[in-house]
Chains A and B, each alone.
Chain A
Amino acid sequence: MSLRTSAAEAAANPLIPHTAELIVGFIAFTLLFLVLRSKVVPMFEKAFTARTEAIQGGMEKAEKAQQAAQVALEQYTAQLSEARGEAQKIREEARVQGAAIIDDLRSKAQEEAARITAAATASIEAERQQAVTSLRNEVGSLATELASKIVGEALDDQVRQSRIVDRFLDDLEKSK
């Protein structure tokens, strides 16, 4: 206890301030305040501002990209539905056209068939007519010939006979 300095003894009551400490305290705090205010706070604020801006910039960029993507999506969707509609239209047209072509072909084929049938019928009729005509002629001549032959047998004459045969043969040849 006896080693204590007088200054210490004066400050034995811990609630009594010490002049040197008060002065140093004032100076130290003021000094620290000035340093922190001029050097540290502005720099930290600068960093904070830069960070906020960077984040905001990034968010804006992202927002823009999102908007662009949205626009592109809408565009694609519109194009897709347009294409779908077009495809539908084309399919419909093709179906209609196909049906028309089939109808057309069918009617053409039917016409053709009718035409062919008519031609065949006509030609058959003509041939038949011709056959009837020629048959009628031939039958007539044959009958006449036969009749005349039967009648002419009595006229048994060599010359006459040969004349009749010749004439018959000639007639035959002529009729061919």
Chain B
Amino acid sequence: MRKFAFAETGEGFVPPSTADFNLPPVFGNNEYTTKPILLVLFSVLLISVFFILASRKALVVPNKLQFAGESVYAFVRNSIGEEIIGHEFMRFVPFLFTLFTFILTNNVFGIVPFLQFPAMSHVSFPYVLAIFSFIVFHSVGIKKQGLGKYLMGIAFMPGVPKFVYILLTPIEVATFFLVRPLTLSLRLFANMFAGHLLLLVFIMGGDHLLKGVIGLKLIAPFAFAFGIGMTFFEFMVQCLQAYIFTLLTALFIAGALADEH
């Protein structure tokens, strides 16, 4: 779309903007067939098929496929679940595992050739995930301590002088009900959004340079090379963000499970 606009005007580099994230529906005018939605649905299919195939045999001595699936599962189960939540972790492993694989796959779609779009750069999806995370960790706390005690625990942190509550209560309440889900979703969204934008700048910039005079043409390869370098960097960020989202959710759950936080 941007390319068309550029070709029509024929001059002046229009830097990629937020508009580049609003892709038109793939099929007709149906807003349920936009690229991010199709990618998200595809990721669900891909993750399900991969892990069902990997875990189907449940071999004691795993084959390559099972080993690959198991490594991811064991990472979430042990490094995030068991380590953070402790002895009650097994209840939350399916949720954390889903979070991690879902975010990771959709993030990495951002650099997979032809897919090349991170669905998490559309803020709706991080919102959804943050809402799930929010519901889970609050319901865990309520179930564990009872609604009243849980809310009181948040609003009036024990072991603090009375007058401090004037300052602490609003902060704590905001943290638990606003800041946590917001930061969780916005961190993921912003990272994916910025990363994709960065790649667009280098790739489209290189493309534009290639259309310029001979001197600019010579610079174009550097822009592309940097774009490729940034792609590797993006991969790291994508994995890291999936990890951070899952880790923080586990931390929130662990906090809700603990009697005092």
Contacts and interface: CB of A to CB of B under 8 A. Distances in A.
B174 interface: no
Given A25-B124, A28-B44, A47 B58 contact: yes
A56 to B, nearest CB: 12
B59 to A, nearest CB: 6
B77 to A, nearest CB: 8
Contacts of A54: 60
B124 A37 contact: no
B55 A44 contact: yes
A15 B37 CA distance: 17
Contact of B31 (A9, A20, A33, A40): A20
A15 B22 CA distance: 12
Contact of A40 (B25, B51, B122): B51
A14 B121 CA distance: 9
Given A4-B19, A12-B19, A28 B41 contact: yes
B127 interface: yes
A22 B124 contact: yes
Contact of B59 (A12, A32, A47): A47
Interface residues of A, number: 40
B62 A47 contact: yes
Interface string A2-15: 01110111011111
Contacts of B34: 20-21
A46 B58 contact: yes
A24 B32 contact: yes
Nearest to A2: B5
Most buried by A among B23, B41, B60, B193: B60
A51 B60 contact: yes
A3 B5 contact: yes
B123 A17 contact: yes
Contacts of B73: 40-41, 44
A35 interface: yes
A32 B52 contact: no
A37 B47 CA distance: 12
Contact of A11 (B22, B43, B129): B22
Contacts of A43: 55-56, 58
Interface in B98-117: 98, 101-102
A29 B58 contact: no
B97 interface: yes
A35 B48 contact: yes
A32 B4 contact: no
Interface in B18-32: 18-19, 21-25, 29, 31-32
B18 A14 contact: yes
A154 interface: no
B60 A31 contact: no
Interface in A35-90: 35-37, 39-41, 43-44, 46-48, 50-51, 54
Interface in A88-124: none
A168 interface: no
B40 interface: yes
Nearest to B190: A14
Contacts of A3: 1, 4-5
B128 to A, nearest CB: 4
Given A20-B34, A21-B36, A29 B69 contact: no
A9 to B, nearest CB: 8
Contacts of A37: 94, 98
Contacts of B95: 33
Most chain A CB atoms below 10 A, which of B56, B128, B189: B128
Interface in B49-78: 51-52, 54-56, 58-60, 62, 66, 69-70, 73-74, 77
B13 interface: no
Top 3 A-B residue pairs of the complex, sorted by shortest distance between their CB atoms:
A8-B22, A21-B124, A25-B128
7 contacts: A5-B25, A11-B22, A22-B128, A28-B41, A36-B51, A41-B97, A44-B55
